[in-house]
Chains A and B, each alone.
Chain A
C-alpha cells in the first residue's frame, strides 16, 4: 500500500463517511451520533474484515515501521471503525419495529459471515448486498410508507401490509436529500473498504486451507 493511500486517502474517505453518516435533513439539519448498537455492529464488521483478509492490521501497525507510520496506521483503523459505525447508523431505520428488526437482521447476518469466514471478495460482495438492502428498506420502502402523500408505491405497500398497524412501521419524514447523502456515504464506505490493505499475494484463508488440504492428501 502506498504511503499516500494510508496517510491521506483512507483517512479522508473514512472521516468523510463519519461526518456525513449522521446527517439527517428535515426541517433542520441534524447530526446524529452512532447509537451503541452501531458500535457493536462496527466491531463485528472489523472482525470480519480482519478474518477474511480485507484488512490486515499488521500492514498498518507493526514493530519494524516508524512511529509516524504506525500512527498513520492507527488513524486508518480508528477511522475505519468510526465510518463503519456511521454507515450502520445511516442504513438503519430510525425508530419502531423496523429499527429493531433491521438491527437483529444485521447482527445475525454479520455473525453468520463472521462464522463462515468467506474470502475478501465474497465479504465485500456480501457487504454491498447488506448495505444495499438496508438502504432500499429505509429510504425507498419505509420512506414511501411514511410519506404523508399518496404515491403509487405507497398504495401497493399498504395493500401488501393490510391489517398491520402502520404506526409501528412509519418513520419520521426526512428530506429526500438524506437519501442521496446516505447513498453517497454507503458507496464511499464500500470503496474505502475495498482500498484497505488486504492480505498480500492474493491468498486468502480459504485458499490457504485448500492448499493445506491438498498437501495433507498428497
Chain B
C-alpha cells in the first residue's frame, strides 16, 4: 500500500513538473539546447554566465573590436539570460553601427533586439561602467531606436559634429 502511494505521489510530481516544463517551453520558445538549459536554470535561480568569456568580451569591447567581443559575450551567455551581457552586446552593435554621417540600420536593429532582451530580463537596468556614456538600458534603447528612424533631422549638417557615446 505504501508502495502504491509512493508511486502515485511520484507520478503526480512527475506530471506536474512535466506540465510546468511544457508550459514554460511554449511560453519561451527556446531555439537551442543551451537556451532550454539556461532558461530552466534561470527559472530556478541557478543560472550564471561564463565570467572568463565575459571578461574577454569586455576587453575586446574596450578595444573597439566588436565582432570578437560579441562572440565572447555570446559564449558567456549562451541562453541570452543575463541582462548585463545582453546590454553589452547591444552596446557593441551601437558602437559598431554608429557613424558621423549615417547609422547602420541593420546593426542598430540587432542592437535593439539585444537591449530589449536586457530590459525584459532586468527592467530599469543600470550598468555602472565608466567607459560607457549611456549607463541605462532605456537610454541605450532610445538611442538605438532614434538611429533606425529616418526624419528631417537626418539632413541636419550639424549631425557630423556629434560624438559617439
Contact = CB atoms under 8 A, between A and B. Distances in A.
Interface stretch (B11-19, B50-58, B89-97, B136-144): B11-19
A31 B12 contact: no
Contact of B18 (A11, A69, A71, A72): A11
Given A3-B7, A11-B11, 8 more contacts: A4-B7, A11-B15, A11-B18, A22-B26, A31-B25, A31-B29, A66-B5, A71-B12
Interface of B: 4-5, 7-12, 14-15, 18-19, 21-22, 25-26, 29, 31
Contact of B11 (A8, A18, A22, A66): A8
A27 to B, nearest CB: 10
Given A68-B8, A69-B8, A18 B14 contact: no
Interface in A9-68: 11-12, 15, 18-19, 22, 28-31, 33, 66, 68
A19 B31 contact: no
A7 interface: yes
The bracket for how many chain A residues form the interface is: 20 to 34
B11 A72 contact: yes
Given A29-B31, A30-B29, A15 B8 contact: no
Contacts of A15: 15, 18-19, 22
Contacts of A6: 8, 11
Contacts of B10: 7-8
Nearest to A86: B22
Contacts of B4: 3
A33 B22 CA distance: 11
A68 B19 CA distance: 18
A124 interface: no
A79 interface: yes
B11 to A, nearest CB: 3
A207 B4 CA distance: 34
A8 B31 contact: no
Which 4 pairs across A and B sit closest by C-beta, in order of nearness?
Answer: A7-B11, A11-B15, A8-B11, A7-B8
A72 B12 contact: yes
A73 to B, nearest CB: 10
B22 A72 contact: no
